[in-house]
A and B are shown apart, each in its own frame.
Chain A
Amino acid sequence: MLEILEYSFIQRALISGIAISTICSMVGCFLVMRRYALFGDGIAHVAFGGVAVGLFMGIIPFWSAFVVSILGSLGLQKMQNSKVSGEVAVAVTLVSGLSVGVILTSIAGGFTLDLFSFLFGSIILVSTNDMITILSISGVVALVIILLYRRLLFITFNAELARVSGIRVTLLNYLFAVLAAITVVVAMRLTGILLITALIVLPTLSASKFNRGFKGTMIISAAISSSSVISGIFISYLLDWAPSGTIVALLVLSMVGVYTSYMIMGRLFR
């Protein structure tokens, strides 16, 4: 079974998958604890609009999605600053991005293979250049989060207290929204637009049950996510399943397993 590791496309998929799952866990911990779990979903749909813009205009879809998603995340954050509730802001952003995508897709003559790969992920098709881009962007996102960790943590816990303590909350919220948008665009290669929320939300929910502090939750979340990605790529190769669906199914199973164990342990040691 291990001979599949000799295939360079599997190696690239594993390396890229681990990098993506790690930054999704880092960003996901902050989003879930801000009660903003669907932010990723909103931005992913804006990214769909960006992909359609790229395909329509003949630009590389990844980069058009990159720019459009960043603009979408800034708009989303601006709505939040204007006291629009998080779920309403996500809903507005989501349908706006999706409508642009659907219109441009219909003008371009319907769905293409490229568009399908963005909708459902294509980690197996990652080229060496793609892998280098994914690793570079993931590295920058992870580095910025590590450098601003305490400030982001304080804002996530309670933005008002952080603001009164002298932290530039508005500026950092915009910066974090951009980081989250970049993460979503990079993660499109792994699970696709439609399943991105799974990478952001599920590992954090599982990890939060381990009661190991915020940093610990982030690390456990990244470990659960990376294991699911590795196992998912192996299983999908062996059984000829879609990698994105397999990875997300494993994340769901991990969460069910953790929650069930937590319940049983709670009853045993009550």
Chain B
Amino acid sequence: MQLDTILSVNDLWVNYGTKIAVESVSYDVQEGDLVGVVGANGSGKSSMFKAILGLLPHRGTVSLFGRAFHRDLLRSVGYVPQKISFEPMFPATVFDVVAMALTRATLTPTDRRHGIVDSDMSNSEKVMKCLNIVRMWGLRHRRIGALSGGELQRVFIAQSLVRNPSLLIMDEPAVGLDVKSQKLFYSIMQEANSEYGITMIVSLHNMDVVKEYSNKVVCMNRTLAFHGKTSDFFADEKLLGLCTEYKLQDRPHPHEHSHEA
């Protein structure tokens, strides 16, 4: 069966002044894929995500759902950034934070083949369903500033899901979470992909997680070092080493120690 191309990145470049963060990256993502994006810190993963989402100036083209990038297409895209900053005394509960994504400006077109929420559901029902999926319904009245890191990540996933996205991009979503929270997080990620058909692009550091959950791998090394099936990626030890240890010795370190080979 021919699957639709959800995302197509073609010759993407991102610069910060004279420093090149992403260099000529091209790949496609098909419907239903769970793509693990790997690469050492500073390899351009976050810059690539932000360029795809139109948050960073870039060269090259990005197509979403077979159409050239346009702001309105983002209505069908969910995004969970690496770190979300907000005013700690922000007077909103978990429920409020998820519900605030439900404005007419953000709602996804209803012609989705798959979906977490139905268009005939009330806003409260949509929020309830998404909070149940991320196991946060019990904490719906909790003030957002009072949540732990793992709980916050789950709320932001629910906030993305409530708009019924076709594509969900997550940038190192499990960093800083304890083992139990990570496990819960990955099971939610898999459920959203397999049960609700949401295509996912997730940057991950843990290679065991990549192996277990993703069907495709994008390996960043500022340029695109690899794009293909997960099994092919793990079959190539040299590639695996390149992507995870990318020039570690050459990168600036805030701490004093050496990286012996």
Contact of B106 among A35, A156, A165 (CB under 8 A): A165
CB distance from B190 to the nearest CB of A (A): 23
- Looking at the complex, which of B97-105, B113-121, B131-139, B199-207 is the stretch in contact with chain A? B97-105
A217 within 8 A of B: yes
A214 touches B159 (CB 8 A): no
A160 touches B91 (CB 8 A): no
A213 and B96 CA atoms in complex are apart in Å by 8
A158 touches B85 (CB 8 A): yes
A211 within 8 A of B: yes
A166 and B72 CA atoms in complex are apart in Å by 6
B74 touches A166 (CB 8 A): yes
Contact of A33 among B72, B90, B96, B102 (CB under 8 A): B90
CB neighbours (8 Å) of A157 from chain B are 86, 90, 92, 97, 100
A254 and B114 CA atoms in complex are apart in Å by 52
- Looking at the complex, which of A122-130, A147-155, A227-235 is the stretch in contact with chain B? A147-155
B86 touches A217 (CB 8 A): no
CB neighbours (8 Å) of B90 from chain A are 33, 156-157, 214
CB distance from B234 to the nearest CB of A (A): 31
B93 touches A168 (CB 8 A): no
A168 and B70 CA atoms in complex are apart in Å by 12
A216 and B91 CA atoms in complex are apart in Å by 9
CB distance from B88 to the nearest CB of A (A): 10
A160 and B103 CA atoms in complex are apart in Å by 16
A136 and B156 CA atoms in complex are apart in Å by 39
A150 touches B100 (CB 8 A): yes
B129 within 8 A of A: no
CB neighbours (8 Å) of B77 from chain A are 164
A185 and B106 CA atoms in complex are apart in Å by 33
Chain B interface residue count, Cβ-Cβ cutoff 8 angstroms: 31
A154 touches B103 (CB 8 A): yes
Bitwise, B220-246 to A at CB < 8 A (1) or not (0) is: 000000000000000000000000000
CB neighbours (8 Å) of A32 from chain B are 87
B55 within 8 A of A: yes
B102 touches A150 (CB 8 A): yes
CB neighbours (8 Å) of B106 from chain A are 154, 165-167
- Closest residue to A216 on the B side, CB-wise? B91
B143 within 8 A of A: yes
B92 touches A158 (CB 8 A): no
A171 and B156 CA atoms in complex are apart in Å by 24
B81 within 8 A of A: yes
Contact of A151 among B87, B91, B103, B143 (CB under 8 A): B103
A195 and B91 CA atoms in complex are apart in Å by 25
A207 and B90 CA atoms in complex are apart in Å by 11
Bitwise, A210-221 to B at CB < 8 A (1) or not (0) is: 011110110000
A167 and B91 CA atoms in complex are apart in Å by 21
Contact of A153 among B54, B87, B100 (CB under 8 A): B100
A167 touches B103 (CB 8 A): yes
B96 touches A166 (CB 8 A): no
A167 and B163 CA atoms in complex are apart in Å by 13
CB neighbours (8 Å) of B93 from chain A are 213
A161 within 8 A of B: yes
Known: A34-B87, A168-B105. A161 touches B81 (CB 8 A): yes
- Closest residue to A164 on the B side, CB-wise? B79
A89 and B150 CA atoms in complex are apart in Å by 35
A165 and B93 CA atoms in complex are apart in Å by 20
CB distance from B95 to the nearest CB of A (A): 9
Within 8 A of B (CB), among A132-155: 150-151, 153-154
Known: A151-B103, A211-B143. A164 touches B91 (CB 8 A): no
A165 and B165 CA atoms in complex are apart in Å by 10
Taking A160-B81, A217-B91 as given, write out 17 further A-B residue pairs in contact, using a Cβ cutoff of 8 Å, ordered by the A residue number.
A33-B87, A153-B100, A154-B103, A157-B86, A157-B90, A157-B92, A161-B79, A161-B159, A164-B55, A166-B106, A167-B105, A167-B106, A208-B89, A211-B91, A212-B91, A213-B96, A214-B91
6 closest residue pairs by CB, A with B: A165-B106, A150-B103, A166-B75, A217-B91, A164-B79, A166-B74
Give chain A's interface residues, CB within 8 Å of chain B: 32-35, 150-151, 153-154, 156-158, 160-161, 163-168, 207-208, 211-214, 216-217
